[in-house]
A and B are shown apart, each in its own frame.
Chain A
């Protein structure tokens, strides 16, 4: 009983420590046990080349979105018709036109940087809202079982069985397509994912001995959920959330592309692809570069999520400790002869 408790607590600390571990993994933490977890996870990350690169890419894009617009905000709206539709990959017109310019002579580079903030400021809140609401709801439904579970699952089924874009289309028709509405509709369509996962895990956990013990000692359901169930479920849900960032980013850019997402004069990567579409014959870079930005970000998040899934699972973690070549040789061998 005690071992499962401590294991749960240890697992819970790992992903929480990860973001810090990326940026200041070498700094000295105060608590020894916490630092151990942080350091070893950081070391594991360094061992996997792909995961390291994706983490670095994500940090870079995150920093760009955070401080870039303050530096380049004016540049992104500055029009200069002398430099309209300049081709990319040349410093001839100055560094700001390295990635070319649009039909109004605005710098592509600056616009991409400013758009990154819009994209993140929609995707991250949407993921956060869906994660919090879906997880709490799912854990609650799974812990209590019975009618609460059934009703919650039916609601999830209803949302899932309807194409998310159609839902967004109708809602954004009725309400104006503002940032807040897009966040809400994206969160709403993704809540069932967390709801289902959290419910399944928590339904399994609530029959475990350590939860039973807590119940016997007279802990209230909500206290048990917060102290014993959530810490164990959290790694799975955070991994899922990393993966969901990709989905939500793609969904936001689809909406913006279709003209019912971010509205001009705001700019997001999806909107930029859509705006560049009519210049495809003369200025291909207007559509292609924002798309590349989306693809690079989502691939990095995907790779990191795949790594996180293995790293936070104690049963699979040993795989990451192996050198990469042996790892590749080992997985299929294990799968084909169970």
Chain B
């Protein structure tokens, strides 16, 4: 288990390193980073002062060492907008996104398991139709537009839900519903597909012939095997969820990391953008490892053999 984990950590650490080096390279590729960090209308004196203060007049290797040291100490400099520590701002915005993403993902997996099983048990039934309709919608409807239609219908026309903000339970409904569409649409098809094939396996026949109830057959025997592919895909989907979170947070004014990123782009605040992007990369890296661990716990074939004493 430990060896397996170490191997996985090593392989997912590579993308993380690429991102860290990539951000540095991009920041230097455009020439003087001062033009990147400072607002467009900064004066020449401001630029010179900025270069001197941040050691941009040093040779490149020294700058690179500084940069890596900064990343390790979570020191990305200060926000141009607020003068606060960029890493602190990113960390403060992080829980809001995490709550949103985690709730969405848990809901998506649970819903997909229920609807997917139901669809597998009754082909061409209601659940089957719902699942294929939602999958189609998930692949064709832009999430930002769905959010806007949601606001138009439920917030403006009907007045049931707030248009934005984080106060009260009502504020959660539209952001989560918008984010839910894509992962649910993909997962429900996966669960349905793997349930259909799991239900036709000999061990299901065996379980039935031994007198196990239908509910037990589905939940204990079929679902356990059908859940593993869904979990793997759920990992990939979480990466995509970050994309959705940026859009949803911008529309609903959710004070999370996605909104922070877009705000810092629009206001040319590179230090904050850098902190937010690197923090997200680390979070995805951690999540991939968690999913690998969950996968190993669920599927005995992936798990390396351990001898019981």
Using a CB–CB distance below 8 Å, which chain A residues touch chain B? 154, 157-158, 160-166, 169-175, 246, 250, 253-254, 257-260, 270, 273-274, 277, 280-281, 284, 287-288, 290-291, 294-295, 298-299, 302, 328, 332, 335-338
Contact = CB atoms under 8 A, between A and B. Distances in A.
Nearest to A273: B145
15 contacts: A157-B15, A162-B15, A165-B243, A169-B262, A174-B29, A174-B36, A246-B140, A253-B145, A270-B144, A281-B156, A294-B142, A299-B136, A332-B123, A332-B124, A335-B123
Interface stretch (B42-50, B170-178, B219-227, B265-273): B265-273
B158 interface: no
Closest CB pairs A-B (n = 3)? A291-B145, A332-B123, A298-B140
Contacts of B148: 273, 277, 280, 287-288, 291
Contacts, number: 137
A82 to B, nearest CB: 26
B281 A162 contact: yes
B152 A295 contact: no
Contact of A246 (B139, B242, B266): B139
B304 to A, nearest CB: 22
A302 B200 contact: no
Contacts of B265: 169, 172-173, 259-260
B142 A253 contact: yes
A165 B288 contact: no
B120 to A, nearest CB: 9
Contact of B196 (A246, A294, A335): A335
Interface string B125-157: 000000000001001111111001101100010
Nearest to B285: A161
Given A161-B288, A163-B243, A337-B200, A174 B140 contact: no
Contacts of A302: 136, 139-140
Nearest to A251: B243
Q: How large is the interface on B (under 10, 10 to 19, 20 to 34, 35 or more residues)?
A: 35 or more
Nearest to B123: A332
A332 B199 CA distance: 13
B139 A298 contact: yes
Interface of B: 11-12, 14-15, 18-19, 22-23, 26-27, 29-30, 36, 123-124, 136, 139-145, 148-149, 151-152, 156, 196-197, 199-200, 236, 239-240, 242-243, 246-247, 250-251, 261-262, 265-266, 270, 273, 277, 280-281, 284, 288
A280 B156 contact: yes
B12 to A, nearest CB: 7
Contacts of A169: 246, 261-262, 265, 273, 277
A254 B123 contact: no
Contacts of B124: 328, 332
Contact of A291 (B11, B142, B266): B142
